[in-house]
Amino acid sequence: MNEDSSIAKVADILREEAHRLGPGAKLRSSRELVRELGVSPVTVSRAIARLTAEGRVITRPGSGAFAAPGRRASSEASDSSWQTVALGDRVVDDTGVAGLLAEPGEGVIPLTGGYLNANLRPARELSAAAARAVRRPDAWALPPLSGLPELRRWFAGEVGVSRNDVLVVSGGQAALSHAFRALAAPGEPVLVETPTYPGALATAKLAGLRAVAVPVDRDGVRPELLAEAFAVTGARVFYCQPTLHNPTGATLTPERREQVLAVARAAGAFIIEDDFSRYLATSTPPPALVSMDDHGTVVHVLSLSKISAPSLRVAGLIARGPAARRLRASQVVESFFVARPLQETAVEFVTSPAWRRHLLAARREIGERQRLLLTLLARHLPAAEVHLVPPGGLHLWVRLPDETDEPALVERAHRAGALVSPGAIYYPAEPPGPRIRLTHTAPADHAELTEGVVRLASAFERG
Amino acid sequence: MNEDSSIAKVADILREEAHRLGPGAKLRSSRELVRELGVSPVTVSRAIARLTAEGRVITRPGSGAFAAPGRRASSEASDSSWQTVALGDRVVDDTGVAGLLAEPGEGVIPLTGGYLNANLRPARELSAAAARAVRRPDAWALPPLSGLPELRRWFAGEVGVSRNDVLVVSGGQAALSHAFRALAAPGEPVLVETPTYPGALATAKLAGLRAVAVPVDRDGVRPELLAEAFAVTGARVFYCQPTLHNPTGATLTPERREQVLAVARAAGAFIIEDDFSRYLATSTPPPALVSMDDHGTVVHVLSLSKISAPSLRVAGLIARGPAARRLRASQVVESFFVARPLQETAVEFVTSPAWRRHLLAARREIGERQRLLLTLLARHLPAAEVHLVPPGGLHLWVRLPDETDEPALVERAHRAGALVSPGAIYYPAEPPGPRIRLTHTAPADHAELTEGVVRLASAFERG
């Protein structure tokens, strides 16, 4: 141990020396090192052996040790252009998702984003839950492959299904990837609402699926168009957000929920119900599709990160029948299971009094910020037309006058210090006109929200 | 807050009542609840609304509230056989991987498994690292999408590459999934060693790839056969474990490393270097392929869970050029990023003195258990021929007399209370004869290892 730490120390010194002197340079001799560092010759030679193994140093018998030639420079330095041929045409487009996750620049007020602002997250409570979780002796052991029983039971209770129907996965995005891949084969169509969540479009595309758009109105997706889309495309999967739909805020009415289920069932198709907003509603939403489903039609995604924090990457993926078995098998083969400490933390958090307290506080703040944003828009941006005032959620969906140049406005707003989400990215097909999505929970506080809208309005006026 | 907790309490009581009385049963009336529980009528009606939303209770105007009919029974109860048609033929085979992760039954001694026994894991040190990690104010925030800079730097330093070449992913298995999917298209061939790790075969298959076997000998894969396999198949990807290869224990010699790189380079192909055993070696292994690579040929997987614990699901995926960008884009679209607390925990752990201490202790124990297993085999199972004595690793690869019925022996050993890994699962093509893999780090201690081998030997003798 003592000897090993001396070796590590000498290796660190030599690593730094090799880096500083540059490729090909001769390092101090072993004799010099022994003298100057006051260590044994064995320690020096072991440290050099370690750096040789790392490929940082080469030794020439009789001449000493040299900094290795710069062969492990980063990607830019070496010629990897042969890869372009080897990789072929399957380029992965992550601009949409990376854009959603991008941090705003210094001084820029975010009016976009899929998570609560850091000020609204229960970070301290999550850390307390994690501290309790990792105290358990088996915190780092293999969990049951489908997830911790307590966590599965909790997810099941939230939507009224059996615990056996729940698979714990690494967050909502991973759940969508699993579902698209397991339920449809590359090349097949998948029906999606239009507009819809760009992250779902990106995962569907990565799974090789073709997204076919079905329009929504203020009551959610239109069942008669859904039925027609199934008939025309032969799709076996419909992806939707029936509650506080992103970006429009529409919530599917109870009547339409029955119709949508009947339509999918008649088409022999699955519904992927992305219930990302369950805990963002300011009034009780209608029952989830999965809780109305008798036939294994619905595959339900229940995410915890939206209401808590981005790094609580835990979601419940609920399914029944052969689809459930396929989803489970896919996760086991792809990534084994979700790290146990995260699962234990989630259980600790959602079963603690802090959970209900946080839900109430978040709902109150969502309501206040939504009202404030409506007031600000009426005052500073009267030309903007709010699509609908949803009972909760993080965003308002805003229609702009037809003559507005949407990309130019987004760009001008950004230069003015307000980041908004352009409407175009939500449409799998042609956008119907200029729109933006405004996220009231992204700014740090009410003052920042106000200032953000003022900046947006000034950018609009200069348009 | 107070009111909400009363609602939650009444809802809990009613949930229990609905469950106890069974589907269709009438619940206590609102009036009775108000009187018996001492709460307000508003609280009762909100609690009932909540259960209705959960789908556990239905209300009939004028008649009261009833436990919902049992429509959300688990998969077995409802008819989901239509799914079999909708899902088609793409069945996911997880038996191999699930088998690797299965817990041995009560009283059964495991002589198989990919992780250190719980007694050998640094669980306390990991929990201490996690406790420090979650104390940081941004522990639950979005990390940089490619991973925490400190963690990327650490992984880079381990194999002598640039920090920019490192992507942090959710464990080695996820790394393999990403790599197979990003580097080859469905239907394409991928070259693998034979025998090889069954988990890699399963992910390659899930990615739609055809695994083509290239033989290994005691010095690792045979370069001339690798060249021939590239020529015959046109494959663009070779998956391998050059150090302490699973299951044989072979380590690719330095000369062959140069040859293998040259062969892949000539074929315009990628090498996926699965470096799962880097920290399980009892003597310094040859330089990693990635540290010898000038052209972005090697995609390197460096896992932390093997040397620490299954639930530290963090690995470094090292790549350069367009392949690196594609791997990054895939991870962002598929699952966003690795939960920050896990990354912070990994950084805390590997940069603490506990890390070096653990490495030394683990290596010492690996050496001792390997020597013990060799002694036990010589004494109790002299008919078994150990393929080679590797400088470290978790397993020995054992050849049995040709007349041995391998599946029958594995089954008999299991009944005798010793779980061993059948050789056949490691072969993508026909196995050459009876083999088993014995894991000396799976039993709790030396006594259990001894008893496990004794049980295996008795099963062998009864064959």
Q: Which of A20-29, A52-61, A261-270, B204-213 has the lowest mean pLDDT?
A: A52-61
A225 shares a domain with A107: no
| Cβ-defined contact of A177 to B322 (cutoff 8 Å) | no
Question: Could you report the per-residue pLDDT of A74-130, keeping only the tens digit for each?
Answer: 444 568 888 988 888 888 888 888 888 888 889 999 999 999 999 999 999 999 999
A427 shares a domain with A303: no
Could you give the angle at the alpha carbon of B445 between the alpha carbons of B376 and B374, nearest 5°? 20
Q: Is residue B406 a contact partner of residue B436, using CB atoms and an 8 Å limit?
A: yes
In B249-352, alpha helices (H): 254-266, 321-335, 340-350
In B166-248, alpha helices (H): 172-183, 198-206, 223-233
State residue A59's pLDDT score: 78
A137 found inside a domain:
yes
CB nearest to A126's CB, from B91, B140, B310: B140
State residue A70's pLDDT score: 56
A284 shares a domain with A172: yes
Q: Is residue B315 a contact partner of residue B169, using CB atoms and an 8 Å limit?
A: yes
| Nearest chain A residue to B47, by CA | A284
Question: Could you report the per-residue pLDDT of A222-256, keeping only the tens digit for each?
Answer: 999 999 999 999 999 999 999 999 999 999 999 99
State residue B21's pLDDT score: 85
B423 shares a domain with B313: no
Shortest CA gap B453–chain A (Å) = 25
Complex-level ipTM beyond the 0.95 threshold: no
Local structure of B167: helix, strand or coil: strand
Q: Is residue B461 a contact partner of residue B382, using CB atoms and an 8 Å limit?
A: no
DSSP, residue by residue, A360-425: HHHHHHHHHHHHHHHHHHHHH-TT-EES---SB-SEEEEE--TT--HHHHHHHHHHTTEE-EEGGG
A212, two tokens: 């076919």
- Domain boundary residue, one of A326, A352, A378: A352
| Cβ-defined contact of B123 to A142 (cutoff 8 Å) | no
| Cβ-defined contact of A334 to B295 (cutoff 8 Å) | no
Residue A439 CA: distances (Å) to CA of A53, A305, A447, B431: 51, 16, 14, 59
CB nearest to B321's CB, from A75, A206, A269: A75
CATH number for position A273: 3.40.640.10
In the block, residue with structure tokens 């799962």? B276
What is the rounded distance in angstroms from the CA atom of residue B337 to the CA atom of residue A101?
Answer: 10
Structural domain containing residue A412: 95-119+355-461
B164 found inside a domain:
yes
Amino acid at the residue A72? R
State residue A2's pLDDT score: 64
Q: What percent of chain A has pLDDT over 90?
A: 78
Q: Is residue A293 a contact partner of residue A261, using CB atoms and an 8 Å limit?
A: yes
Shortest CA gap B348–chain A (Å) = 14
Question: Could you report the per-residue pLDDT of A376-386, keeping only the tens digit for each?
Answer: 999 999 999 99
A280 shares a domain with A162: yes
B394 shares a domain with B265: no
State residue B99's pLDDT score: 83
- Domain boundary residue, one of A67, A85, A107: A67
B88 found inside a domain:
no
A320 shares a domain with A190: yes
Question: Could you report the per-residue pLDDT of B232-281, keeping only the tens digit for each?
Answer: 999 999 999 999 999 999 999 999 999 999 999 999 999 999 999 999 99
B36 found inside a domain:
yes
Residue A108 CA: distances (Å) to CA of A104, A419, A424, A448: 6, 7, 21, 10
| β A189-194/A237-240 pair status | parallel
B196 shares a domain with B338: yes
A199 found inside a domain:
yes
Whether residue B178 lies within 8 A of chain A, CB to CB, comes out as: no
What is the rounded distance in angstroms from the CA atom of residue A182 to the CA atom of residue A326?
Answer: 6
In the block, residue with structure tokens 């026909």? B430
Query: Would you say residue A355 has pLDDT above 80?
Result: yes
Whether residue A42 lies within 8 A of chain B, CB to CB, comes out as: no
B273 shares a domain with B130: yes
Low-confidence ranges of chain B (pLDDT < 50): 1, 72-76
DSSP, residue by residue, A77-137: TS--THHHHHHTT-----HHHHHHHPPPPTTPEE---SS--GGGS-HHHHHHHHHHHTTST
Chain A residues touching B1 at Cβ < 8 A: 356-357, 360
| Cβ-defined contact of A311 to B139 (cutoff 8 Å) | yes
B184 shares a domain with B170: yes
Chain B residues touching A88 at Cβ < 8 A: 185
| Cβ-defined contact of B333 to A97 (cutoff 8 Å) | yes
A73 found inside a domain:
no
Shortest CA gap B162–chain A (Å) = 5
Q: For chain B, what is the domain count? A: 3
What is the rounded distance in angstroms from the CA atom of residue A234 to the CA atom of residue A215?
Answer: 17
State residue A247's pLDDT score: 97
Residue to substitute from A85, A92, A168, A233, interface B, most B β-carbons within 10 A: A92
State residue A76's pLDDT score: 46
A413 shares a domain with A297: no
B452 found inside a domain:
yes
Task: Quote the distance between the C-alpha of residue A187 and its chain's center.
Answer: 24
Residue to substitute from B54, B301, B334, B337, interface A, most A β-carbons within 10 A: B334
CATH number for position B373: 3.90.1150.10
CATH number for position A52: 1.10.10.10
| Cβ-defined contact of A75 to B285 (cutoff 8 Å) | no
Question: Could you report the per-residue pLDDT of A34-77, keeping only the tens digit for each?
Answer: 999 999 888 898 888 888 777 788 877 677 888 876 554 444 45
A84 found inside a domain:
no
| Cβ-defined contact of A75 to B288 (cutoff 8 Å) | no
| Nearest chain A residue to B291, by CA | A55
| Cβ-defined contact of A268 to B164 (cutoff 8 Å) | no
Average per-residue pLDDT for chain A: 93
- Domain boundary residue, one of A330, A352, A374: A352
State residue A126's pLDDT score: 98
A386 shares a domain with A326: no
Which residues face B66 on adjacent strands? B26, B58
Q: What percent of chain A has pLDDT over 70?
A: 97
